[in-house]
Amino acid sequence: MKGTPRELKLTINGKVYELMVKPKTLLVDVLRKELKLTGTRIGCLSSSCGACTVNIDGKAVRSCSVLALQANGRDVTTIEGVADGDKLHPIQEAMVEHGAIECGFCTSGMVMSARALLNENPKPTREEIREAIQGNLCADSGYTKYIEAIEIASEKMQGGK
């Protein structure tokens, strides 16, 4: 039957959720509307801006372009799952301290792309950082401070300053 809700079971930020969703539901809608995890943003209707970026099994993916049911059994991390309680993740801390954040709309997507990068490649070159955030559009910052912040974060995470 059209639109019959189906079972969706997945882990989000370390917690297992069981929901019934209509097949047409996008992952971003489950996050924002069902679970009120509104840190993941919708910035476009053309799968181009990256504000909706989450990590699925550690990889950066646009949650606006994934049917929620395709995330069945997967391990999803959103921006809400990045900090450790009140303690900011080095990526977040670096972006704050370095002044990368202007209006903040792209920021959660930037963090998620950076997180996926540093999980896979703890010592990226500047070129690799640029490539990692290529799919995250920012209308304010001109990107430079985000790139520098991610560099700073990777050094910190390596045990540097």
Partner 1 sequence: MKDFEYFDPKTVKEALPLLSQYKEEAKIIAGGQSLLVVMKQGMLTTEYIIDIKGISDLDYINDDGKGLRIGALTLHRTIEKSPIIQKHFMVLSEMERNLATIQTRNWGTIGGNLCHGDPAGDPASVFIALNAKLKVASMGGERIIDMEEFSKDYFEVALEPDEMLTEIQVPPPPPHTGTAHEKLMVMQGDQGVTGAAVSITLKSGDGVCEDAHIVLSNAASIPLRAREAEKRLIGKVVTDDLLVEAGEVASSEADPPVDVHGTAEYRREMIKVFVSRAAQRALERATSS
107-120 vs 90-97: helix crossing angle, rounded to 10: 130
Give the interface segment with partner 1, choosing from 50-58, 88-96, 100-108, 147-155 (CB under 8 A): 50-58
Q: Which residues pair with 17 in a beta bridge?
A: 10
Give the interface segment with partner 1, choosing from 12-20, 49-57, 86-94, 142-150 (CB under 8 A): 49-57
Contact code string over 90-129 relative to partner 1, x by CB under 8 A: -----------------------x--x-------------
Exposure of 9 in the CB half-sphere (CA atoms within 13 A) = 2
The residue among 118, 115, 109, 116 whose CA lies nearest residue 137 is 109
Q: Are 106 and 50 in contact (CB under 8 A)?
A: yes
- Residues at the site binding partner 1, with contacts judged by CB under 8 A: 1-4, 6, 22-24, 26, 45-47, 50, 53, 56, 59-62, 64-67, 69-70, 113, 116, 131-132, 134-135
